[in-house]
Amino acid sequence: MSILIETAYLPPIGYMAEVAAAGMAVIELFETYTKQTCRNHAVIYGPNGKQTLSIPVIKINGNKTITKDIRLSDHQPWQKIHWRSIETAYNNSPFFLYYQDDLAPFYEKKFVFLADWNHELLAKLLHILKAGCTLQFSDHFDKVPAGIDDKRNGPVLKHVTSLSRFPRYTQVFEPRHGFLPGLSIIDLLFNLGPETASYLEALKTDLPKNNLPE
C-alpha cells in the first residue's frame, strides 16, 4: 500500500502509525505551504504539560510558497533550544539514553530546506522502528490523486489530545498532568522503547480509513 502525506516534524503518533504500516509514503512537496501545522511543529510532554516545538521558517514567496521551497531560518538557535527542551522533557524517561545518540546529531547538522530536515528525521525514525516503508517525494501536485491512499490534511496529521482510541502508556509527567495522547512519536519512543512498533501496529487498525480516489 502506498500513501500520500504531508511532511512533518517529529510526526504525531497517528502519522507514524500510517507511515510505518505503508509500503511507500510519498511526501507532498508541491502543495501551498500551510503554517502552524505538524509540518514545522512537534508537540511533546514537558514539565508543564503539552509543549510545542516550532521550527522558524522562511517563505520565499510569501503565502504562495510551496512546501519544497520552505527554508529553515537561522535567525535563532532553534535546534539547540529544541534539543534542550527534549532533554528536559525526556531525560528521565526509560529509553531516552538508549535513543538520544540517534537523534541528537540532527540538532547540530545544518539543513537548508524544511522538507529535507523532516525527511531525514523520518527516515531515522523508521530505521529505529525497523519499518520497511520506502520514502519518496512527490514531483507534482494532484488535487485528487489516483491509485494512492491520500492522507493529506487528514486527522492523523494532528496532535490529537481528545481521542480515546490512543491506548494509555506511562508518561514521565503523567502524575502531574495526566495522560496526554497523540503527541510526537518521540514521546512514545522514549517511554515505550522497542514496544513502540507494536503500539503503532495496534493503533493503525483504529485510525480513520480513507477510500482510494477513483
> Mean pLDDT for the chain?
91
pLDDT of 210 above 90:
no
Q: Does pTM top 0.85 for this prediction?
A: yes
**160-196 residue pLDDT tens:** 554 557 899 999 999 999 999 999 999 999 999 999 9
pLDDT of 211 above 60:
no
Q: Is residue 179 part of a domain?
A: yes
Q: Is residue 72 part of a domain?
A: yes
Q: Is residue 211 part of a domain?
A: no
Q: Is residue 209 part of a domain?
A: no
| Rg of the chain, C-alpha, whole Å | 17
Structural domain span for residue 119: 2-204
pLDDT of residue 126: 97
- Cα 179 to Cα 25: distance, rounded to the nearest angstrom: 30
Q: Is residue 212 part of a domain?
A: no
Q: How much is the average pLDDT of 116-138?
A: 97
pLDDT of 62 above 50:
yes
- Using alpha carbons only, give the angle 97, 102, 107 rounded to the nearest 5 degrees: 100
pLDDT of residue 212: 32
Q: Is residue 152 part of a domain?
A: yes
Assess contact for 89 and 189: CB atoms under 8 A.
no
The number of folded domains in the chain is 1
pLDDT of residue 204: 80
Q: Is residue 128 part of a domain?
A: yes
Q: Is residue 91 part of a domain?
A: yes
pLDDT of residue 73: 96
